[in-house]
């Protein structure tokens, strides 16, 4: 398993990129949610969650991502899910998350 990334990249346009790691579960998910909320509080208005290295997202991961979406929409920020694999994209689609975020291949 690769290290669950807590790396956050920010640019001057108020965009933060958070890496989801290879398995988005409770442990990694809660860390990601904390980072996203911190970035939103700092003024970021676009959160990019990078799924390029993500193989699996479980139910807890979904719940946490919905928390991020909810927090972002509450302050008018947008969330982008970048490079999710096919299975993850289908899961997001099936559960309706794609209605709230932009999927960037």
Partner 1 sequence: MKLQDMRSTNFSRFAAERNKLVHTFGALAEIGQEVSNKHNFQETIRTSLHLVLGSLGIMRGGVVRYTRFENELNMVSARGLGDDFPFGMSLCYEDERQFLANGLYPIECDQARVLPFFQVYDRSIGQAKIELFVPLVVRDELLGGIFLGEKASGEQYTSYDKEIICAMGRHIAVAISQRNLMAELERRADENRRLYDDLKMTYKDTVKAFAAAIDRKDKYTEGHSVRVGKYSEIIARELGWGEEEIEGAAFAGYLHDIGKITVERKIINAPYRINAKESSELNKHPGAGFEILQPIRHPYAGVPLAAKYHHERLDGRGYPDGLYDREIPYIAKVVNLADAFDAMTSDRPYRRRRSAPEVFEDLQRNTGKQFAPELVTALLRGMMKELSGESKDKTFRKMLGREYMESEGLMPIVRTALNGLAPTSPLTFVAYK
Candidates 1, 12, 76, 94; binder of partner 1 (CB under 8 A) is 94
Task: Mark the segment that binds partner 1 (CB under 8 A) among 8-16, 38-46, 47-55, 59-67.
Answer: 59-67
Span of 9-17, 34-42, 47-55, 91-99 interacting with partner 1 by CB under 8 A:
91-99
Regarding 66 and contact with partner 1 (CB under 8 A), the answer is: yes
Pairing of strands 15-19, 8-10: antiparallel
Distance in Å, CB of 25 to partner 1, minimum: 10
- 45 — phi, psi (to 5°)? -115, 5
Displacement of CA 30 from its chain's centroid (Å): 11
In whole angstroms, give the CA distance from residue 103 to residue 105. 6
Is residue 95 part of the contact set for partner 1 (CB under 8 A)? Answer: yes
Helix axes 59-74, 26-42, angle to 10 degrees: 10
β pairing state of 46-50 and 15-19 = parallel
Residues near partner 1 (CB under 8 A): 26, 58-64, 66-67, 69-70, 87, 90-91, 94-97, 99-100
């Amino acid at each position: 398993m690769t290290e669950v990334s807590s790396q956050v990249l920010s640019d001057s346009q108020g965009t933060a990129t958070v890496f989801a790691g290879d398995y988005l579960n409770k442990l990694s998910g809660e860390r990601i949610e904390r980072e996203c909320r911190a970035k939103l509080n700092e003024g970021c208005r676009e959160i990019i969650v990078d799924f390029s290295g993500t193989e699996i997202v479980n139910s807890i991961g979904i719940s946490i991502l919905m928390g991020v979406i909810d927090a972002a929409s509450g302050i008018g920020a947008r969330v982008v899910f970048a490079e999710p694999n096919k299975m993850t994209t289908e899961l997001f689609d099936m559960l309706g998350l794609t209605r709230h975020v932009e999927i960037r291949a």
